[in-house]
Amino acid sequence: MERLDKYLTERGAGSRREVQRLIRSGAVSLNGTVCKKPDTKLDPQTGSVTVSGKNIDADKFIYIMMNKPAGVVSATKDNYDKTVIDILPEEFRRRNMFPAGRLDKDTEGLLIITNDGEFAHKMLSPSKKVYKQYEAELDGEVTDDTIYAFKKGIMFADGTKCMPAELNIPDKSRKNRAIVKICEGKFHQVKKMFAVCGLKVVHLKRISIGNLYLGSNLTIGCCKKLTKLDVESIFMGNIH
Ligand code: URA
């Protein structure tokens, strides 16, 4: 059982104070009846709550897919740049949301923003083998040697060894475009892996995480709420 004010705060209806004010004003109904006591207990699994007639999503956790634009940073706060949280539409906002993993400021594509720390940990842990695919445009052609080096596991200059990665050229007539598949998230990993092979990444976009794909419908800068099935698909097809 959970307190009504806590339940509403956790689901984005406002701060604890705002929510208590709302409840006392008579704007909140629990199972169809106006409830004016913030400390009323409800079963989060079965209780149905409305604020000013609008249903409150029963799920405590929210998972948002963003097609991250270049120029915003994957952080919750930044003194200089706009963050992915700053550009998150009002309807998707909850308390304590954060990007699950980072994309560089100039990288575009699939980013998940959530308030579920356990989920993020599982998705990002290399041992869980959740593969992330990136579309990379390079300043030169990818050779068989590059593909082989990725497959063997790239070693950075500081001795850090990357896990084996897959590199594919989707269009053999454009060998400066490659799809990279990795299950780690080291700082600037894809750019650094190509740099070891003498190539510079000129454009980078993440296109998938596990079996969840960005697709072509979500335009740059836009967001959508993921369904339970979408979230499950992230972990489908991996080894663990
Ligand atoms: N690898 C990079 O180099 N940059 C990113 O943003 C993501 C992966």
DSSP-derived letter for residue 126 is G
Let me know: does 168 contact 178? Beta carbons within 8 Å: yes
- Beta carbon of 129 within 6 Å of any ligand 1 atom: no
- Beta carbon of 137 within 6 Å of any ligand 1 atom: no
Mean pLDDT of the chain: 94
The pLDDT score that the predictor gives to residue 10 is 87
pTM for the model stands at 0.88
**Percent of all residues in the chain with a pLDDT value above 90, rounded to a whole number:** 86
Give the mutation target among 84, 134, 192, 208 for probing the ligand 1 site: most ligand atoms within 8 A of CB.
Answer: 134
Q: What angle do helix axes 144-152 and 189-196 make, rounded to 10 degrees?
A: 120
| pLDDT beyond 50 at 123 | yes
Q: Residue 238's pLDDT band (boundaries 50, 70, 90)?
A: low
**CA–CA separation, 69 and 87 (whole Å):** 10
- Beta carbon of 104 within 6 Å of any ligand 1 atom: yes
- Could you give phi then psi for residue 59, rounded to 5 degrees? -75, 130
Average pLDDT over residues 76-80: 96
Q: Is 116 a catalytic residue?
A: no
